[in-house]
């Protein structure tokens, strides 16, 4: 069975050009970039090139790019560093819809005596800027807010937020893991101090991330040891993955337009066709500004895991904010923060597309999903009550 992969916010296919670029760095060009011989030196040059390519995509300088092992490491490093450089400040701000890479760390901080403010969102997933302004004070060490939400695709007004934070003297970090490569980012004209990205969300392999650190921003490393990454992240470089990420960023600069035209058109068609064919559905975050590739759609009276497994039978790969998929017992923290009613939170499905998605694949989902929802509703006591009311 050929898969229809619509779970690109979870991870993406490595672009074949990216794979080709990284291949020689396993068995042939395996030198250590720190070595004092030509064999390592030539790898160093390729790492430098990758750094320039990543910087170019972000409008940053190469020396502002620190390679890490993943988005989670970048997030952890950013927040920990801010607390170390401002030991007297005991307040941290994040949002209720943040990725666990940030949220878990912040919640752990409360046990170490920090005040942590989690800013809420409205029913469309938009950040409450008034609340942010109200809690931000001179005691705030760092504000960490995501660029775009992984579940709903809702984009926060990051530049506006960064300016607000800057004015109060706190550091501003953004987890841009879902945004890089999909929305244009120009750090040269920005107040963002730190930004995290992850390779495998933009067609590079897993196990490579970046922490952007604005020049002049005080920093304490998370990993200490060797002098790699200008002593800001010790550990021998994952050279093949770094080189792959450089290539992926170079490609992303060229394909960003495709994301915002072709991919967006496919997402919009999937959304409008499903809404037209399936009664009692709603788009989570539909009225907010969203990533062009993400559709989070809720179906009342049915449960998400059951939908996913029936889609899975047809080779269609999506994900769900339902409780049952994750093994937790409550629907996703993002949907709960948005106040999505329980009648549909359990039946929420996320489709996330990429430039490798085809129109034929979208056609298949448009054709196959309505009967799946109808089947489950017919089996659900609430669905049946609703169908009866409808006559």
Partner 1 sequence: MWDYTPTVKEHFLNPRNVGDIPDADTVGEVGSLACGDALKLYLKLDDNKDRIVDAKFQTFGCASAIASSSALTEMVKGKTLDEALAISNQDIAEFLGGLPEEKMHCSVMGQEALEVAIAKYRGHEVKPHSHDHDHGPAYPDQEGTIVCKCFGITDVFLKKVIETNKLTTAEQVTHFTKAGGGCGGCIPRIKELIDEVMGSRQTEEPRKRPEKLSNMKKMQMIQEVLERDIRPLLWADGGDLELIDIDGPKVQVAFRKACAGCASSGHTSRVVEQKLRDLVAEDIVVEEVAA
List contacts with partner 1 (CB under 8 A). 107, 110-111, 113-114, 301-306, 309-310, 313, 322-325, 327-331, 342-343, 346, 378-384
- Which of 203, 196, 291, 207 lies closest to 252 in space, CA to CA? 203
Q: For residues 235 and 69, what is the distance between their CA atoms, to the nearest angstrom?
A: 10
N-term to C-term CA, the chain: 39
Least Å from the CB of residue 118 to partner 1: 10
Q: Count of residues for the chain? A: 391
What DSSP letter does each residue of 77-142 carry, written as one string? HHHHHHHHH-TT--EEEEETT--HHHHHHHHHHHTTT-EEEEE-B-TTS-B-HHHHHHH--TTEEE
d(Cα 351, Cα 264) in Å, to the nearest integer? 12
CB-wise, 33 or 321, nearer to partner 1?
A: 321
Of 135 and 223, CB closest to partner 1: 135
User: Considering beta carbons, is residue 205 or 331 the nearer one to partner 1?
Assistant: 331
Q: How far is the CB of 320 from partner 1 (least distance, A)?
A: 10
Measured CA to CA, the distance from residue 16 to residue 20 in angstroms comes to: 6
- Our answer to whether residue 317 is catalytic in this structure is no
Q: Which is closer to partner 1, CB of 42 or CB of 328?
A: 328
Cβ of residue 103: shortest distance to partner 1, in angstroms? 13
Write the CA distances from 47 to 23, 127, 233, integer angstroms. Answer: 14, 37, 15
CA 34 – CA 169 distance, rounded (Å): 37
Burial class (CB in 10 A: 0-12, 13-18, 19+), 129: middle
Three-state secondary structure call for residue 271: helix
Task: State the nearest-atom distance from the C-beta of 207 to partner 1, in Å.
Answer: 21
Q: Which CB atom, from 203 or from 377, has the smaller least distance to partner 1?
A: 377
Q: Which is nearer to partner 1, 13 or 333 (CB)?
A: 333
In angstroms, give the least distance from the CB of 135 to partner 1. Answer: 16
d(CA 302, CA 276): 18
- Least gap, CB of 376 to partner 1 (angstroms): 8
Q: Which of 27, 70, 324, 344 is catalytic?
A: 324
Sign (positive or negative) of CA dihedral 223, 188, 17, 312: positive
| Residues involved in catalysis | 324
């Amino acid at each position: 069975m050929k898969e229809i992969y619509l779970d690109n916010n979870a991870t993406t296919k490595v672009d074949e050009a990216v794979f080709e670029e990284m291949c020689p760095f396993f068995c042939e060009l395996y030198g250590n970039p720190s070595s004092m011989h030509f064999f390592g030196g030539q790898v160093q040059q390729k790492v430098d090139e990758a750094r320039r390519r990543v910087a170019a995509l972000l409008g940053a300088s190469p020396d502002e790019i620190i390679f890490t092992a993943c988005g989670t490491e970048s997030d952890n490093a950013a927040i920990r560093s801010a607390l170390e450089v401002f030991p007297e400040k005991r307040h941290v701000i994040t949002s209720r819809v943040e990725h666990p890479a940030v949220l878990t760390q912040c919640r752990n901080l409360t046990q170490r005596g920090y005040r942590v403010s989690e800013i809420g969102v409205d029913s469309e997933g938009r950040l409450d800027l008034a609340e942010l302004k109200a809690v931000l004070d001179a005691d705030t060490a760092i504000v960490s807010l995501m660029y775009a939400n992984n579940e709903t695709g809702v984009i926060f007004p990051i530049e506006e937020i960064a300016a607000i934070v800057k004015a109060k003297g706190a550091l501003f970090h953004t987890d841009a893991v879902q945004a890089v490569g999909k929305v244009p980012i120009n750090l040269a004209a920005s107040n963002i101090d730190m930004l995290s990205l992850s390779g495998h969300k933009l067609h590079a392999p897993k196990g490579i991330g970046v922490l952007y650190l604005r020049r002049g921003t005080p920093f304490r490393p998370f990993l200490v040891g060797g002098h790699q990454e200008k002593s800001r992240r010790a550990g021998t470089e994952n050279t093949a993955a770094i080189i792959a990420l450089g290539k992926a960023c170079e490609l992303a600069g060229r394909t960003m337009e495709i994301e915002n035209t072709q991919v967006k058109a496919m997402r919009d068609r999937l959304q409008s066709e499903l809404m037209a064919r399936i009664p009692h559905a709603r788009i989570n975050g539909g009225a907010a500004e969203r990533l062009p590739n993400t559709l989070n759609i809720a179906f009342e009276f049915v449960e998400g895991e059951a939908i996913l497994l029936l889609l899975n039978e047809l080779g269609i790969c999506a994900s769900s904010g339902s409780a049952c998929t994750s093994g937790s017992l409550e629907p996703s923290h993002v949907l709960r923060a948005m106040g999505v009613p329980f009648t549909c939170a359990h039946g929420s499905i996320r489709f996330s597309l990429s430039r490798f998605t085809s129109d034929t694949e979208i056609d298949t989902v448009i054709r196959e999903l309505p009967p799946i929802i109808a089947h489950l509703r017919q089996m659900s006591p609430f669905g049946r009550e609703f169908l009866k009311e409808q006559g």
